[in-house]
Structures are given as structure tokens and as C-alpha cells.
Amino acid sequence: MAESLPPELWSHIFDLAADEDTIFYPGLPTSMTQSAWARSLLTDWQLRTPRDTIDIVQRRSYATKKSIISTCKSWRRLGLEFLVRNLFFNDPSKLRSLTALLASNPSLGWWTRRLHITHFLYQRGPSLDVFEAALTSVLAQTPNLEIFIVDWPLSSAFGPIADTLGMHCKNLRTAHWHVPAELLSKVIWALDALPLLVCLVVEFDAPLKDPDTLTLGSAQDVKLYLPNLQQLILRGHSAEFMEQASGWSLPLLRSFSFDFGSKREDVPDILSFLCTHGTSLLFLDLNCIPALDIRTVLDLCPLLTAFSFNLDWKIAPITQNDDNAGDGPIVLTNRPHEHIAHIGLHGLLFAFGVGIASAYATPDPLRALLVQRTNDRNFAALTKASFPKLERVRVLNTTVLTDLERTNGPQGSGMERWERWAGMCEGMGIRLEDCTGALLGTLPHEYEEEEDEEDDDEYYYTDDDEPARPGGVGLSELRALLEECRKMSEEREDPPFALPY
């Protein structure tokens, strides 16, 4: 049967079966990207984050491609390019096997478009620096690489990796690096050699040396021009990076995300960064514990259509002309923001009386009450007067939703708060959602009772019931193709190389 169709048609069929459109998209998920409920072997339901979903898509795609090339000689010859098109590892030691494969067949590296090394066991296992030679060898043999994601922390290896990217991977569109803060100069030089970048994610670990002793050397004077960069995501100790980026030229920057984690000191100068780049932003996500001047932030970003902030921030009232002004209503804007239609809310661990709020209720009830009061005042400021085009408000904290599912809903005063917030939004025609895109308060089992529910292009699914995306292929088609693979198992041979899962 393999000879009954032309190779071009088989390649098209394999491309549909691999179903990799999502993972080759240059943009990366933001805090507003939906999570999804899925059945779990350990608990009834498990919340699947966008990162989890992308990893699952890659694993499924690899399993399909492995079945294809294991079927017969003809399919292995035609399908091998699809196997190496996306390389996904959770064990960097397998890079050495890949190096050997590419060395034996140099033309294979030409097909590679995505290389993703993920890290599931944080602070365990060997350092990725041990595999520097293997990784740089792979990069040198993949000239058409477009997406390079390394969730695994890098240190000494990043310099050689950055040099290799600049020399051999001129087509790189998406980069995700995890490095110590003292390697900022190497990050700057790497960016200077990659002008085609569309999406950049950099996570900075705390510097190993005294931050006051760190210097950028000649990188201090580099004024980067990144003409294609549209999405920038910064995490961790990024103050120095943001200070340098305030002087760069990023004409197409439209999406900026900042995640400071649990840190409370040395907050980057976000306002200076937004003074330079805020006027063109359409999406802004600020996730940090220290409160920022939200009204000035929104003034600096007049074109935003989506904005996320921490609802735990203690925001001062807009006027303080008398002694009681601190108890007045909160206003989030100096003037109505004409474009924001979507608002995401970080924080809220204390809002609904579950999880951490429940744990603190007995030993430290005052803290929970103060945070809840702040949440109420800030939520009351999400009005049509400040945001005339507001359509939806989304609670982004996955921990909050997981705790709500485990307790079957809000507890104590959390139930009254949820009802009040839902009523406020309903009265203004605003949709109040959780991080899955469902109405806040919808538990996962309720999805099964709503067979005909549709919500724009958003959907809910489990592993065994995945709908086809527009232009994609469903499980029925995949199963039919794999059944054909089984029928041709007489010619089956072991694949020349297997990726680790």
C-alpha cells in the first residue's frame, strides 16, 4: 500500500497525523491562556495548565510519528523528517543519542524547527551544563531552527549556547532561556545576534554573587534593535534587564508579561520601561506582590485590550484630601480606559475561604480579613465607568481554582463574596471567569452535564475526547491511520532512534 500513493500525498497525510500546528506557533502562552480540567488517576480531576497541554500535544505527536516510521521501510524513509521536525526532551542525556543520529545523517538536522528541553524535576538530576557539548552540537546541525525552549536552568553552558545560536540558527523566532542574573551580558549579546526573534522569554535566577558587584562590561552600551519582537516575558530577578531594555528599540512589541514570583524587594522600574514601550502594548501582565502605581501604568498604555494585575495590591484612593480619604472607594484609572476588554486577576488566595485562607483562619484571622477587604475594594473598582469596553474578568490563580474544586466551592464568607462579585459582573454585563474560561463557580463535573455548551473557540476536553481544531485532525482520523499502520506490521522494523519520554 505504501507504493500505491505518491510520496507527496503520504507526506501530507503524515503532516496531518502529526498535528503539530499548535507547537510551531511562535507565540508562547500567557497568564490569560486557558487551563483545562482533565480526569486524573490520583484524584477525580486535575487542572491542566497550558504548559501541560503543550507537553501532552508533543508527546502524542511523537507517539504518532514513532508508529509511522516503525511500520515499514517506505514509511520510515518518508516519515523520518517528521520525527526530527520537533525535538522534545525531558532527559538531556538523550541529546548525546541525537548528536550521533545527526552526525550519521547530516541532512536530518535541516528539518528541525523546534527544540524543547523541559525540566520536571527541579533541582534534581544532572545539570544541563554537563551536556553543553551535545547541545551545542545539535544546534550547529539545525540551521532552520525556529523555536528553542530550555526550561532547564543554565549557567556556564549559556555562553557557548548563545554563541552557537548566533552563528548557526539565524532563523530563530522564539527563545525561552532560564539563566542566572549575572549572565545578563551574555543574554544581551545573544539577542544582538538574533534580530528575527518574535517571542522572548527569559527567567533570571538570583545572582550567585553580590548584585552590587555585577557588571555588564561592553554590553552596557549596547542599544538593541529588535525589529520583529512582539512578545516579551520576564520572570525572576529581571531589574537590570528591564533597565537596559528601557533604552532599546522594540517597535513591534505588543505583549509584555512580568512575573516577580514571591519576591518583595528590588522591584524593577516597570514605569520607566513602560514610558518607552507602553504606548504600543496591547497586552500587559503584571504579577508581583509589591503594589504598583496602576493608574500611571494604564495612562502609559493607552491601547491595551487585555490587562492583568494582582487584586491583593493595596491601592490608594485617587484623592486623599481629608483624614478619611484612605477609606474611600478605589479608582483604577485617572480617566476611562477606552480599549481594555479583558482583565485578569492574580492573587486572591484568601478570597474564598479555601486553601491557604482556611489554614490561616485560626492562627492569624486578621491577615485573611485584611487581604479580603483589599480584594473587595479593588474588585468594586472594576466598573464600566473606568473600563467602558470591559467584557470579561478572569481569576488567573490555578491554586485558587484547585482549592475550590477540592472543597466543592467557597467556604464561610467566601461564598457570600463569590455571590456578590458574580452579581456585580452580571449587572454590568461582564463575564466573571476562572482560569479555564468557564464561569467562576463552575465545577469540572458540571461540564459533563452541559453537552451542548459552546463558548467562542474555547473548549473542554479529556484525554479520550479531544475535538479537532480548525484545520487539524481528530482522533477518529488518527485511529484510522494507526490502524492502517498495524495492518502493515509485517514489514515493521525498529526505528533508528527513539526520543525519550
pLDDT band at 225 (very low <50, low <70, confident <90, very high): very high
pLDDT over 70 for what percent of the chain?
A: 82
Give the Cα separation of 324 and 442 in Å (integer): 39
pLDDT band at 439 (very low <50, low <70, confident <90, very high): very high
Reported as a single tens digit per residue, the pLDDT across 23-62 is: 888 999 999 999 999 887 766 788 999 988 888 888 888 8
Give the Cα separation of 47 and 38 in Å (integer): 6
Asked which of 237-246, 271-280, 443-452, 467-476 is least confident by mean pLDDT, the reply is: 467-476
pLDDT band at 12 (very low <50, low <70, confident <90, very high): confident
Report whether pLDDT(126) > 60.
Answer: yes
Q: Is residue 224 part of a domain?
A: no
Give the Cα separation of 23 and 133 in Å (integer): 26
What is the pLDDT at residue 15?
81
What is the pLDDT at residue 431?
97
Report whether pLDDT(397) > 90.
Answer: yes
Domain total in the chain? 1
Residue 465 neighbours by CB under 8 Å, 6+ apart: none
Report whether pLDDT(442) > 70.
Answer: yes
HEC string for 392-438:
EEEECCHHHHHHHHHCCCCCCHHHHHHHHHHHHHHHHCCEEECCCCC
478 against 362, higher pLDDT: 362
Helix (H, G, I), strand (E, B) or coil at 258: strand
- pTM of the predicted model over 0.75: yes
pLDDT band at 4 (very low <50, low <70, confident <90, very high): low
Q: Is residue 183 part of a domain?
A: no
Q: Is residue 15 part of a domain?
A: no
User: Taking residues 277-292, what's their average pLDDT?
Assistant: 97
Q: Is residue 376 part of a domain?
A: yes
What is the pLDDT at residue 465?
35
Cell of 256: 509584555
Pair 293, 334: CB distance under 8 Å: no
Reported as a single tens digit per residue, the pLDDT across 180-222 is: 988 999 999 999 999 999 999 999 998 776 666 667 777 878 8
User: Taking residues 238-261, what's their average pLDDT?
Assistant: 95
Q: Is residue 398 part of a domain?
A: yes
What is the pLDDT at residue 498?
36
Give the Cα separation of 285 and 294 in Å (integer): 12
Residue 387 neighbours by CB under 8 Å, 6+ apart: 333, 336, 337, 340, 343
CA-nearest of 340, 315, 337 to 386 is 337
Q: Is residue 272 part of a domain?
A: no
User: Taking residues 423-442, what's their average pLDDT?
Assistant: 95
Average pLDDT, the chain: 83
Strand-pairing partners, residue 286, are: 258
HEC string for 274-326:
HHHHHHHCCEEEEECCCCCCHHHHHHHCCCCCEEEEECCCCCCCCCCCCCCHH
User: Taking residues 169-180, what's their average pLDDT?
Assistant: 94
Give the Cα separation of 138 and 82 in Å (integer): 17
Asked which of 2-11, 139-148, 371-380, 429-438 is least confident by mean pLDDT, the reply is: 2-11
Asked which of 44-48, 131-135, 174-178 is least confident by mean pLDDT, the reply is: 44-48
Cell of 89: 526532551
Q: Is residue 257 part of a domain?
A: no
Determine the structural domain holding residue 356 and report its residue range. 330-450
Q: Is residue 356 part of a domain?
A: yes
Element housing 89 (H / E): strand 86-89
Residue 449 neighbours by CB under 8 Å, 6+ apart: none
